[in-house]
Structure 1
Amino acid sequence: MSTSALGVSPQPFGPAWRTIDEIDDGWRELRPGPRLCELRARGEAFAPRFKAQGPVRAVRTIDLLPFPYPVAFAFWQAAPTRAKYLLMRNRCQLIEFEDFSGATKVLLVNPSEADLSARAGFFEQARRELLPFVPASLLTRAPGPAALLRRLGVDPARVDYVTFDHLHVQDLRRGLAGEGGRPPLYPNAKLLVNRRELETLAAIHPLQRPWWIDGALDGVAAERVVALAGSVWLGKGLALVWTPGHTLGNHSIVFHAPDGGVYAISENGVAPECYLPAASQIRALREYARKYEAEVVLNGNTLESALSQYSSMVLEKALVDRGAGGGELPNILCSSPFVRSPLAWGLGPSHVVPGVNGGALGSSLAEGTGNG
């Protein structure tokens, strides 16, 4: 697969969406220190303007399967245990919002298919090491995101857009092209993706290879893929903010919840306290923050730019409100938060931002259903 084969290119913007140049221009500063200060200031300036537009119509958070992940990656340079693995739990969000043309749209965020993600090289290795603890049958027994949407009364055909914060371990063919003669899970949805993720898929570096699935977009029609050049304000209360570092095309899904509060969906950190390690009850995080005067702890597997990811996490903090996880913790809705498990005995998050659920579903519901 190549981006030229897909025929995708950055899309023109009509009245429905807006670029967010006042944030993206901060990345033009090449010096890491001044760039960090620049992005923090730009995020703080944009946040009140974003919030003033009002909230999205509705949000639902759906827990998916847990998966093993190396402790050394989850807490880059600040590992709190000698255990090799911990568990993280995938989760996705359904967001109904009003775009700037006045139309109601439905965005599905991070609908990972566990059995497809298991094809990534990293998971093949982890499965061999953990087979006694994580049976392979678990991946096929558990319902996928589309089935869980139907349990909420949501029709997957009503989804207008699908996006992922980044494309690590994602295979989009089942969702957008169909497989085995079956139609796609989201037959009317377009993929919103930063063009840099497509460029990575077209020419994967050896150090990236364990985390990317070859052919992840094979068979997906070009018109189903919207390649974004940077940050996009999709509508009232919803934006995709380019936050490079974890991957070059990483973006964070920033939304204003119906019941109040601005949140960011992100996998830059594996727990809200990774954004305020000095306040963590995990000693290793506090000591890391003190020793290096660090204000964030990265989730780092293929760190394509550690300095950029650090700045991206600070930008996320500047954009969101605080308090959903307690105290001054920023409202970071981790897309794959780490959870307590026997794999890392005694280790668990000291702060949790609960899944956001609010507002009345309308456009995404199947005919004849209620609000769930």
Structure 2
Amino acid sequence: MSIADRLITEPLAIPRPAVTAPFPRIDTFDKALTAPGGFGPRLRACRTAALNFRREFAATGRPDSVRTHDLISLPYPTRYGLFRAAISPTPFVTISNRLLIVRWTETDGTPRTLLFEPSDHELDSYTPYFDDMKRLAPGPVRGVFVHEHTDVLTACRRAGVDPAEVDYLAFDHLHTQDVRRWLGTTSPQPDISPNQPVVAAFPNAKLLAQRDELEAMADLHPFQRPWYQPSTFVDLPPEKILPLDGSVLLGPGVALITTPGHAMGNQSLVLNTDTGIWAISENAIATECLTPDQSRIPGLAKAAKSWGHEVVLNANTIETAYEQYNSLVIEKTIVDVSQQDSRFLQFFPSSELTGALLNPGTAPTFTHRAIRHG
């Protein structure tokens, strides 16, 4: 069955909690993202807002610790990841998806733990796009291109994190995500728990997602549908979902800011660490996509200069390319310069470009690989 055969659906009853997450709102970007005059004036406004946010955010403090854990490396179309830029003939690049474990202490002494990008990669193949990929490259062939490093629960165990201690789960957006095993379900699930509701692996965790994206999943546009698994959200317990209405400060040196464009409700994790400020998202797949003039990937610097672009988008779904460009400039303006190589910025792709012999001409010039703080 092709993607097209699976895409015509009726609207789904996705849980729509009326509550609003109890975090301080960050209104710095509200006017910039909707400034009058079109996307050009908005870009200028976004850059100014990002400078203002950077100064304010640095004063909020720092989290207790940040650790990253490799989950899975997999193929991804070059034409998406290096949009309009790379000239390599290889159809795929390799990207590595990573989990971030962020811990902080509230002013009243309450400890908090956030899992950012806790992808249950054993179930992501139900996403229509990746389901087709799996059918085209089954079994041993898939094993050549896909490398599973670890899973979320094992990563937590290695980090000394009890699943009951996890307060929040969040993603930069909900493409490919299936969180039933993390949050539990209100009824049996034919594919993973046919006889009883799924028991939550993280019994006290709540999903933080932008309300816009949660509501959009109920009735997706054809351009969006290949990348989502909306049916897996139908039986999630509504009380386990905390919708966000814009940018919020989660804790000292920990924020989720709205960065729309790649997906409706896209958001970026921003961290203030020992090395300065970081931004984490999938708006780009390599930090050099924010400074393309420093890239040695064939074609990247030349294409960016030719087009007059200061960033290179990750463009598998261009819901609003202008907004995604502006959002990436926000991230570029917020972050600090890498202490390992001053040509590059502390933008950490949630799925980072990784060199592979099977993908000649796409090896990154520089990779962060991990964030270590505290």
1:33-73 deviation per Cα after TM superposition (whole angstroms, max 9, x unaligned): 00000001000111021112221111110101111110000
Q: Counterpart in 1 of 2:249?
A: 233
**Equivalent pair of 2:297/2:361 in contact (CA under 8 Å):** no
**Equivalent pair of 2:210/2:265 in contact (CA under 8 Å):** yes
Structure 1 gaps of 5+ residues are 360-372
**Equivalent pair of 1:162/1:190 in contact (CA under 8 Å):** yes
- Name the aligned partner's letter for residue 191 of structure 1: L
- 1:209 matched to 2:225? The reply is yes
Report % sequence identity.
Answer: 36
User: Take 1:249 and 1:266, find their aligned partners in 2: how far apart are those partners?
Assistant: 12
1:44 counterpart SS class = helix
**Equivalent pair of 2:165/2:204 in contact (CA under 8 Å):** yes
User: Take 1:84 and 1:12, find their aligned partners in 2: how far apart are those partners?
Assistant: 41
**Which has the higher mean CA deviation after the structures are superposed, 281-290 or 342-351?**
342-351
Residue 216 (structure 1) shift: 2.6
- 1:133 matched to 2:149? The reply is no
**Equivalent pair of 1:3/1:199 in contact (CA under 8 Å):** no
User: Take 1:300 and 1:12, find their aligned partners in 2: how far apart are those partners?
Assistant: 30
Q: Counterpart in 1 of 2:28?
A: 22
Residue 170 (structure 1) shift: 0.4
Residue 283 (structure 1) shift: 3.2
**Equivalent pair of 2:73/2:146 in contact (CA under 8 Å):** no
**Equivalent pair of 2:14/2:234 in contact (CA under 8 Å):** no
**Equivalent pair of 2:256/2:268 in contact (CA under 8 Å):** yes
Q: Counterpart in 1 of 2:155?
A: 148
The normalised TM-score by structure 1 is 0.90
- 1:334 matched to 2:349? The reply is yes
Q: 1:245 to 1:61 in 2, by over 3 A?
A: same
Q: 1:100 to 1:302 in 2, by over 3 A?
A: farther
Q: Counterpart in 2 of 1:80?
A: 87
- Name the aligned partner's letter for residue 235 of structure 2: G
Q: 1:281 aligns with which of 296, 302, 322?
A: 296
**Equivalent pair of 2:75/2:145 in contact (CA under 8 Å):** no
Residue 342 (structure 1) shift: 3.2
- 1:311 matched to 2:326? The reply is yes
**Equivalent pair of 2:74/2:145 in contact (CA under 8 Å):** no
- 1:344 matched to 2:359? The reply is yes
- Kindly report the root-mean-square deviation, in angstroms, between the aligned alpha carbons of the 2 structures: 2.1
**Equivalent pair of 2:95/2:354 in contact (CA under 8 Å):** yes
- 1:116 matched to 2:132? The reply is no
**Equivalent pair of 1:325/1:352 in contact (CA under 8 Å):** no
Q: How many residues align?
A: 354
Q: 1:27 to 1:102 in 2, by over 3 A?
A: farther
Q: Counterpart in 2 of 1:362?
A: none
User: Take 1:220 and 1:50, find their aligned partners in 2: how far apart are those partners?
Assistant: 33
- Please show how residues 148-297 of structure 1 align to structure 2 within 5 Å: 148-177=155-184, 180=193, 181=196, 183-257=199-273, 259-297=274-312
Q: 1:129 to 1:62 in 2, by over 3 A?
A: same
2:284 counterpart SS class = coil
**Equivalent pair of 2:181/2:201 in contact (CA under 8 Å):** yes
User: Take 1:290 and 1:142, find their aligned partners in 2: how far apart are those partners?
Assistant: 37
2:175 counterpart SS class = coil
Q: 1:159 to 1:171 in 2, by over 3 A?
A: same
1:337 counterpart SS class = strand
1:71-112 deviation per Cα after TM superposition (whole angstroms, max 9, x unaligned): 000011113311111211110100012345553211100010
The normalised TM-score by structure 2 is 0.89
- Name the aligned partner's letter for residue 61 of structure 2: G
